[in-house]
Chain A
Amino acid sequence: MTELKRILHVDDDTDIRDIAMLSLQNVGSFEVLQCASGQEALDKAADFDPQLFLFDVMMPGMSGDELWAAFRKVPALSEVPVIFMTAKVERHYVAELMDNGALAVLEKPFDPITLAEEISRIWNDRAR
């Protein structure tokens, strides 16, 4: 089982990026690349070579699910799994993301103490 190390996190909210960075780096010891938009992520992802995408859903310009669709067309990154984080908690909406193949949909507000642990658990479950 490959150990999860590199996560590409995309969220347009600066504060949430900061919280997530503290949580994933300080608590979870992951290597994290953060981007404020889908386009920035598309530009920087290849060099970072992420093992997991962690995307906000509702972002201006390109939504999280659109960004994931775009990455699926990038040969080197088309197999990278995604976890969405969203404040849009409508059940049908969550179900739609899961049906499209997301590993998980985490609800905002997330718990910064357990976020890293939760992501690890999801990663490990997937590997099994």
Chain B
Amino acid sequence: MMVTGMALFAAAGLAYLLYPGIADVALRSGVSEANLAMFASLILCSACTWIVAHNVYRRHMLVRTQAISARMADEIGFRDMAIERHCIVAVTDPDGRFIKVNDKFRAAFGYDGADVIGKGASILYPQEAGADGDQKAAENAGQYDSICRTVHDNQPWTGEQILRRSDGAPIVVASTIIPHMDDAGRHLCTICLLTDITEQKLSGVRRQLGNVLDDLQDEVFIFEVESLAVTYMNKSALARFGWTADGVQGKSIADTDPGFDVALFRRHTAPLFNGSRDFVEIQTRQGGTDVEIVTRLHRDASGRRVFLSVLRDITNRKRIEKVKMETVARVSHELRTPLTSIKGALGLLQSGATGTLPDSMSRLVDIANRNSDYLLMMVNDILDLERMNAGRMTLQKQPENLLDIVEETRKLNSTFKEDAGLTIRLNADAARYTVSCERGRISQIVMNLLSNAAKFSPENGVIEIALTTHGDAVRVSVRDHGPGIPIKEQAKLFTDFTQVASGDGKRRTGTGLGLAICKKLVAMHGGQIGLDSAEGQGTTVYFDLPLLQCAEREDIVPLREPADAAPDADKVTCVG
């Protein structure tokens, strides 16, 4: 069309320039002047029309081109913006080092741009235990290697990954990793487009957990801290009360039990608020069954603190505990009966009631007697521990002078003095320490500590007992000068059936129950037990009991002189 217009325009121009000549020729050829004028006008009009049309067309084309360009520009901008806003984008060089990252990347991974540029992409991969550095760790990660291989083969990689933020927290991403090659097939860079799907995954997990919680056999209650209004009960809990999930609205936790005492509940849960306990538990009966209710503080989805209580039917556990306790009691009884005969017979022999024994025989009887004592102690320990673990041991506490009990126990031990040549010293910083306790149990604790100290003491060693006041408590400590206990063994010392090696590497005989029992007994008296020990420097085991009264504290004087000067320092033997 453009060519046609130009031809017409050229013809019209030429006709105009040549018009006088042409007109002369035409007139001479017999063409009338009127026809010639009409022809000339026609040509001129055509030329003018073409010029106008062409201008209109050009303008149209320009507008159209501009519109397309603008739209293309918009699309490109939109795409960039969409990628920028939606995606985590990072570009790495062929060696996997970051060249460029977008804001989303920085926000998602917790890195400043400057921090991350030049670093290897492996920093995003979880470190393996024992790896000797980020790069090494990432190289060990199978997924990272697989991605590298794929990208170097000029293939894109797509998949889900669990990466880690700069603070070590995991982040789940859907990744598309595209290599960018030049025409010669050289790897120029790698473009990584990641979408953070952590929340998506978590909500999936939460949904799943919600379902698990709902189907849990234990009863679960969530209720508000102030109003005690129930916000959630799982299926088991709803079933117990015949409620529906919708019907829970408007219910209080107090509606679950006619005997619910709000004040008592507040006292019960107080330790959760002062931070002294992570959870509180109570065993009770509800609807004819034995139940255990564990309550803790929990933050709900909106961050509010709520109570989370889990109620568990422990009827079966109680039954098993009862059977176990009865069995232990029965076994204990069955063992005691033959022990009565053995100990009785040996005791009579040893006493000379049946005639004097030759020395060699007497020594053998001593060995048998000592070991039957040990056997009896084991039977007693197991029975005690079982009682305590089953919560069936009760104490008959009354105010006692702790010093009297310790002194009495020391004297009991002194009856064995001829055997091991040990010396027991006793020091106290007051004349009377009144504590609420069961005399026999405190004596049992002291006896046990003395027995341990004797076991670990060197030949002709010294054991020191000290009673000292510590604020509102009195501390009884028993110190030996044995090999000490290595630090790594100390933590195990108060657990059931634990025998630790001492600093000399030797293990002494014993049930491994003594200190576990002591710890429980001390706790039942409202006290605590502990130890100080260092290899080669001996061991001090101590227990603190709440002091009711410390008489004559105003004139605190050592009751006993140091043992070097003490005329009644006794020697004991190991009895356990």
Contacts and interface: CB of A to CB of B under 8 A. Distances in A.
Interface of A: 13, 15-16, 18-20, 22-23, 26-27, 58, 87-91, 108-113
Contacts of A109: 336, 339-340, 342-344, 376
B337 interface: yes
A15 B394 contact: no
Interface stretch (B106-114, B345-353, B551-559): B345-353
B337 A113 contact: no
B51 interface: no
A26 B340 contact: no
Contact of B348 (A13, A16, A19, A91): A19
Given A19-B348, A87-B336, A91-B394, A113 B353 contact: yes
Given A16-B344, A108-B337, A111-B347, 15 more contacts: A15-B345, A16-B341, A19-B341, A26-B348, A26-B353, A58-B333, A87-B336, A87-B337, A90-B329, A108-B339, A108-B340, A109-B342, A109-B376, A111-B343, A112-B348
Given A16-B341, A88-B329, A108-B337, A113 B348 contact: yes
Contacts of B383: 89
A16 B344 CA distance: 8
A16 B341 CA distance: 5
A66 B353 CA distance: 34
B347 A15 contact: no
B444 to A, nearest CB: 13
A88 B354 CA distance: 29
A96 to B, nearest CB: 14
A112 B338 CA distance: 14
Nearest to A19: B344
Contacts of A19: 340-341, 344-345, 348
Nearest to B383: A89
A118 to B, nearest CB: 13
B340 A22 contact: no
A108 B334 CA distance: 11
Contacts of B376: 109
Contacts of B332: 87, 89
Listed residue (A58, A87, A113) with the most chain B CB atoms within 10 angstroms of its CB: A87
17 contacts: A16-B337, A16-B344, A19-B340, A19-B341, A19-B348, A22-B348, A22-B353, A87-B337, A88-B329, A89-B336, A108-B337, A109-B339, A109-B343, A111-B343, A112-B343, A113-B348, A113-B351
Interface string B291-331: 00000000000000000000000000000000000000100
Q: Is chain A's binding surface mostly helix, strand, loop or mixed?
A: loop
Contacts of A27: 351, 353
B441 to A, nearest CB: 11
A42 to B, nearest CB: 23
Contacts of A90: 329
Interface string B39-72: 0000000000000000000000000000000000
Residues of B contacting A: mostly: helix
A81 B394 CA distance: 29
A110 B342 CA distance: 11
Nearest to B346: A112
B531 to A, nearest CB: 30
A23 B383 CA distance: 28
Contact of A23 (B336, B338, B348): B348
Scoring B332, B341, B342 by chain A CB atoms within 10 A of each residue's CB, the highest score goes to: B341
B344 A23 contact: yes
Nearest to B330: A88
B355 to A, nearest CB: 10
A15 B341 contact: yes
A91 B353 CA distance: 33
Q: Which of B336, B340, B342 counts the most chain A CB atoms within 10 A?
A: B340
B6 to A, nearest CB: 124
Contacts of A91: 394
A113 B348 CA distance: 6
A58 B336 CA distance: 12
B329 A13 contact: no
Contacts of B337: 13, 16, 87, 108
Contacts of A88: 329, 333
Contacts of A20: 344
A58 B373 CA distance: 23
B353 A108 contact: no
Contacts of A23: 344, 348, 353
Nearest to B396: A91
A113 B343 CA distance: 11
A4 B20 CA distance: 176
Nearest to A87: B336
Q: Which of B332, B348, B354, B376 gathers most chain A CB within 10 Å?
A: B348
B200 to A, nearest CB: 60
B365 to A, nearest CB: 13
A13 B336 CA distance: 12
A87 B333 contact: yes
A89 B393 CA distance: 12
Nearest to B376: A109
Residue in B342, B351, B394 whose Cβ sees the most chain A Cβ within 10 Å: B351
Contacts of B351: 27, 112-113
Contacts of B338: 15
B354 A22 contact: yes
Given A87-B333, A90-B329, A112 B394 contact: no
Nearest to B350: A113
A91 B438 CA distance: 13
B172 to A, nearest CB: 58
A109 B345 CA distance: 11
A34 to B, nearest CB: 14
Nearest to A14: B341
A90 B336 CA distance: 13
